[in-house]
Structure 1
Amino acid sequence: MDAIRFIVGTLLQVLLVTVFLLRVLLPLVRADSRNQLSQAVIRMTNPLVLPLRRVLPPIGKVDTASIVALLIVQAAAVALMWLLGGYPFVYTPAQFVTAVFLTLIRTILNFYIFALFLYVILSWIAPGTHSPGAALIDTLCEPLLRPVRRIIPPLGGFDLSALFVIIGLQALNIAIT
């Protein structure tokens, strides 16, 4: 049963929730909407976001329909994991809502930790490469790295900002757990 919970949880969090998380993040970081990966995220999330958009208009630059869709998908993932016994402590609606938000925050932190690792590896292996994936990762990571670079400039040609951001995100992840 643990293996089934692991597989289902991984598929739900890594594939489904992360795609809806990208739907929220890409406009916020002003990612290129012509990027093939951005278009794939939009196409995959449209069946849930477009009906919500008819009811929930955007507030300024924030797409409320995408945020609500992300929360719906995250709540469904937590509910399914609870049914499989993955969240034995969820007994009340307040505990359920807490589990949804904490799991979503951990997903966001883990997503950015993974994206930063990819960013660093791509900067070592293929610096300056123009690919849809590299462009998207660059667009997602730069808003986190820019403030740290102002405080800690590159030392001898080595940019350690990603290391400090990863350490900070991992510390937040541990604090939440």
Structure 2
Amino acid sequence: MLNNAILFLLQAVFSILSFAFLLRFYFQLTRAPFQNQFAQLIVTVTNFAVKPVRRFLPSIGKVDLSTLLLGYLTQLTLTVATLWLKGFPVLIVGSHVWGVIFGVALIGITSISLSIFLYAVLIQAILSWINPHTPIAPILNSLTYPILRIFRKYIPPAGNFDLSPLVFIITAQLLLTTILIPLENNLLATL
């Protein structure tokens, strides 16, 4: 029972941290405005780790490698801790198993990244109907524009309705449920 409580707390904390590191990475990659309160919250929450790592791993152009690395390391730590708490002998396994663990962490980062964009598009679509001038709109626009632009090339508007968010949401859900989750489960089954 104690293991379940610790596992729950680890998953909650490390999942939120992975999400925050990756959100900061994508904010910087898409040049989202950081004057917003939500963006400032993400910066404040992640500064404790980003500032020290940036000393030895600087950004390359608009790609902030430190936040991407921290997101991956957080997910890797979560994967190892989860396996260890479930009784898997993490400390005495061979190199093949570590390759699987690194792969599971990479799939976790990919899933979180896809979820970030999925939720951003969904929230933006809902807010466009309710309150399109909300203070978070510039961040959502910056974050979703590069992805929706690709979909808008191939999907014309139907009347005054932009169907590209709907197509992206369906595509993202399809990728998560048919590729990423089964791939992660297959990798974990090999352990």
Q: TM-score, normalised by structure 1?
A: 0.86
Task: Tell me the equivalent position of 1:163.
Answer: 166
Find runs of 4+ consecutive structure 1 residues off by over 6 angstroms.
none
Task: Tell me the equivalent position of 1:34.
Answer: 35
Question: 1:104-128 deviations in whole A, cap 9, x for unaligned?
Answer: 11111122222221111111111x3
Instruction: Call closer, same or farther: CA 1:153–1:3 in 2, change over 3 Å.
Output: farther
Task: Tell me the equivalent position of 1:117.
Answer: 122
Task: Tell me the equivalent position of 2:145.
Answer: 142
Task: Tell me the equivalent position of 1:176.
Answer: 180
Question: Quick one: distance in 2 between partners of 1:84 and 1:114?
Answer: 30
Question: Quick one: distance in 1 between partners of 2:104 and 2:152?
Answer: 34
Bigger Rg, structure 1 or 2: 2
Question: 1:143-174 deviations in whole A, cap 9, x for unaligned?
Answer: 11112112212111111100111111112112
Q: TM-score, normalised by structure 2?
A: 0.80
Question: Quick one: distance in 2 between partners of 1:159 and 1:6?
Answer: 40
Task: Tell me the equivalent position of 2:85.
Answer: 84
Task: Tell me the equivalent position of 1:62.
Answer: 63
Question: Quick one: distance in 2 between partners of 1:10 and 1:120?
Answer: 27
Q: Identity, % of aligned pairs?
A: 33
Kindly provide the amino acid, as one letter, of the partner of residue 34 in structure 1. Answer: Q
Question: 1:67-116 deviations in whole A, cap 9, x for unaligned?
Answer: 21111211122222223339x6x852111101100111111112222222
The Cα of 1:135 is off from its aligned counterpart by: 2.4
Task: Tell me the equivalent position of 1:100.
Answer: 105
Task: Tell me the equivalent position of 1:130.
Answer: 134
The Cα of 1:141 is off from its aligned counterpart by: 1.3
* Structure 2 gaps, min length 5: 182-191
Partner SS state of residue 121, structure 2? helix
* Structure 1 gaps, min length 5: none
